[in-house]
């Protein structure tokens, strides 16, 4: 989840302040911070603040979770999208696991700010398996859009998060493809669907957006002979300044992406998907990609096996 606070004068004490704040100056960025850590991140400053509260895990057991997520974003985009980011970890008493994550842009001087509500009894195993932190940090790598295009923000993060974790060595590609087989049908249009910009259900917002990204990624690879993919388009958006602390119309971002790939895939798809239900023949697409339900292996001889492999491949540039 992401939210933008821009063009509003907001005041609070620095992140290391401990005294209570007047109610009118309280906000999601503002908490009693008991410790601040600064993980190493190439080309960017990352500040991790721990709010007051009892956690079963020591802070040095939690910090690698944040570091892994940030590194996955760096691997996918070639750099961390914003020059400075803050992560605030807030304890939720009596709970375990990651309760909620929200990301804002332009928040109290930080181009990117993520608040994670972490259960008091969270285990290392839960952090190892978590996707939320990577999902939230991915939000920093795309401009803030009008409300009708919230599906693109969430869909991108839903689609990119597992791919970034494959590319960084955290997940196996075969497992992610099989997880996508389970998830992507949730994004298909229903009986009363009016297109992505007009249908704001949970399924269409998260998985419908992911489905758009998935189909676009495959199509860009096909049209460019596997030389380019959605990853190239999204890197170009970041390079052009399209990060969470900036408001852009969606078409601007898509045009930047299309220019980077030498195609019109993104803008053409948006013109269709935005106001019309566009069902996808997923069984046929999985077959083309060489992904089969219940199988532990991927078909190396499938017609689009090279596309499948290219999407998940760790790039060195």
Which residue reads 């803050």 in tokens? 86
Residues 6+ apart with CB under 8 A from 284: none
115, 29 Cβ separation under 8 angstroms: yes
Neighbours of 241 (CB within 10 A): 11
pLDDT score at 1: 61
Could you report how far apart the first and last alpha carbons of the chain are, in Å?
29
Tokens of residue 121, six digits: 């009894």
Pick from 317, 315, 312, 304: which is nearest to 219 by CA? 304
Which residue reads 């007051």 in tokens? 52
Give Rg (Cα) of the chain. Answer: 20
Length of the chain: 317
pLDDT score at 18: 30
Neighbours of 317 (CB within 10 A): 4
pLDDT score at 24: 40
Pick from 313, 304, 219: which is nearest to 261 by CA? 219
pLDDT by residue, tens only, the chain of 317 residues: 654 333 332 223 233 233 333 334 456 667 888 999 999 898 899 999 999 999 999 999 999 999 999 999 999 999 999 999 999 999 999 999 999 999 999 888 889 999 999 999 999 999 999 999 999 999 999 999 999 999 999 999 999 999 999 999 999 999 999 999 999 999 999 999 999 999 999 999 999 999 999 999 999 999 999 999 999 999 999 999 999 999 999 999 999 999 999 999 999 999 999 999 999 999 999 999 999 987 678 999 999 999 999 999 998 77
Pick from 275, 271, 279, 277: which is nearest to 255 by CA? 271
DSSP conformational letter for 144: B
Angle at 215 between CA 105 and CA 213, to 5 degrees: 5
pLDDT score at 275: 97
How far apart are alpha carbons 124 and 51 in whole angstroms?
A: 19
């Amino acid at each position: 989840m992401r939210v933008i606070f821009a063009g509003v004068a907001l005041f609070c004490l620095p992140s290391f302040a401990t005294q209570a704040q007047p109610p009118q100056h309280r906000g999601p960025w503002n908490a009693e911070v008991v410790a601040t850590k600064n993980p190493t991140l190439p080309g960017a400053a990352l500040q991790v603040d721990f709010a007051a509260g009892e956690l079963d895990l020591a802070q040095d057991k939690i910090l690698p979770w944040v570091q892994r997520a940030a590194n996955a974003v760096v691997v996918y985009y070639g750099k961390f999208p914003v020059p400075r980011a803050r992560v605030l970890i807030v304890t939720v008493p009596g709970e375990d696991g990651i309760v909620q994550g929200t990301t804002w842009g332009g928040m109290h001087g930080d181009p990117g700010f993520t608040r994670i509500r972490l259960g008091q009894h969270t285990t290392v195993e839960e952090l190892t398996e978590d996707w939320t932190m990577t999902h939230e940090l991915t939000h920093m790598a795309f401009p803030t859009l009008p409300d009708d295009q919230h599906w693109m923000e969430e869909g991108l993060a839903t689609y990119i998060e597992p791919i970034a974790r494959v590319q960084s060595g955290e997940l196996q590609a075969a497992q992610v493809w099989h997880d996508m087989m389970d998830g992507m049908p949730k994004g298909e249009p229903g009986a009363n669907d009016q297109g992505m910009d007009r249908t704001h259900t949970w399924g269409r917002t998260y998985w419908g957006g992911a489905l758009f990204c998935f189909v676009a990624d495959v199509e860009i690879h096909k049209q460019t002979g596997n030389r380019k993919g959605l990853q190239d388009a999204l890197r170009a958006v970041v390079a052009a300044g399209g990060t969470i602390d900036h408001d852009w119309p969606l078409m601007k971002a898509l045009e930047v992406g299309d220019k980077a790939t030498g195609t019109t895939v993104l803008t053409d798809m948006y013109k269709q998907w935005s106001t019309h239900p566009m069902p996808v023949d997923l069984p046929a697409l999985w077959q083309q990609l060489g992904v089969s339900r219940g199988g532990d292996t991927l078909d190396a001889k499938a017609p689009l096996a090279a596309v499948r492999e290219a999407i998940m491949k760790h790039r060195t540039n």
